[in-house]
Chains A and B, each alone.
Chain A
Amino acid sequence: MAGRPSQRLHQGKKTEDLNILPVMNVFMILVPFLLLSASFVQLTVVDTTLPATKTKTVESDSPTPTPPKLSLTVFVRDDGFLLAGYGGVLEPDGPAAEGEDAGPDRFIIKKIQKGVDADGKPLMSFDWDKLQEQLKKIKEAFPNHYSIVILPENTIRYETLVKLMDTTYNWYERTPDGEGGFTTETHELFPQPILAWSLSGGGGA
């Protein structure tokens, strides 16, 4: 009668199957839960401040001569932007001349045509590039100025406002990195937007 074969060679091969059932249970609970609570859109915010209680004092102080300090204001109108520099209490419909060099303290940036719509009418768009060019120049002259007053007209949409604040916040310098891509450098412009509304005319300015 043959003896039992030696088990010595088989000792190391005694692998027990890992019990993965509990892990699977955990996964099965976690994955649906996380899928439900996952946010696939990333949200962001743009900080703005209100002129708070100062609006009235600006109005009452406006006739008195103010020292020449920059009070940068962007009027957003249906036909484009008006950038006002000193004083900040310029009338949006005042005697504004045309063109970029309209005066030392104000510039008009007209909308530009971006193609045509279905009816053949010209599609007008705000000239964001020109606005940012102008803001860059102002920033060079006033490197320590950070606030910008935004004064939109009634018809200006929220989307335009957000885009405007993006434009006035930073500008991005793109330089080719030699490998077909770009390196982006961020430069600060006016990161403190102040939302304002004209005092005259209440709801219908």
Chain B
Amino acid sequence: MAFAASKRKRIKSHLKPFGQLNLNSLIDMFTIILVFLLKSYSAVEFNVQISDDLHLPTSISQKLPVDTVVLTVARNAILVDGGRVADVDKEFEVPGVDPEATSIPDLKAVLQSKFQTFNTQAEARGEKYLGEITVQADKDIPYKLLKRVIKSAGEAQFSTIKMMAFKQEGEAETL
């Protein structure tokens, strides 16, 4: 014969009218999101300010971007490591710079000082500075402007140019 629950237990069960909130599914969800986010978290973070003036093209290249000086050529400005260096007008010319000139003096000066800084740092560590530069350019930038930008980089002794693009999924589809 079963015994009736003690008076104390009866009182206890009456005191908990709400029951316990079941958090299991919430935790499951959070764990999955957490794992996904940690997986997609890349060590090298690149800040690409997507705006109307900077749409990167897509590429099937598999190379990962590395941490270098970043030269951004948007439709309205040229930036080095996020700092505005020169303006770009509607005709993709730089105001105040001779259109016949092959390089852009302001840009060249900024890049030269960057190169000096990094070169000195590398030398202090006993390494050789490779002079790599990452170029993010809007996909509609004509070569007319782009060549002057990379010429400026070349004159500032940057010799390897990394053209940045969005990675295209399913690499061989378009070819």
Contacts and interface: CB of A to CB of B under 8 A. Distances in A.
30 contacts: A24-B23, A31-B34, A39-B42, A39-B45, A42-B166, A43-B48, A43-B166, A44-B64, A44-B167, A45-B63, A45-B134, A45-B164, A46-B165, A50-B158, A154-B142, A154-B143, A154-B144, A157-B139, A158-B140, A162-B57, A166-B61, A184-B171, A195-B147, A195-B161, A197-B143, A197-B147, A202-B101, A203-B100, A203-B101, A204-B99
B163 A46 contact: yes
Main DSSP-derived SS at the A contact region: mixed
A171 B60 CA distance: 11
B27 interface: yes
Interface string B36-73: 01101110011010000000111111111110000001
Contacts, number: 178
Given A161-B163, A203-B100, A156 B3 contact: no
A43 B165 contact: yes
Contacts of B38: 34
Contact of A39 (B33, B40, B66): B40
A127 interface: no
A159 interface: yes
A70 to B, nearest CB: 22
A30 B167 CA distance: 27
B61 A45 contact: yes
B86 interface: no
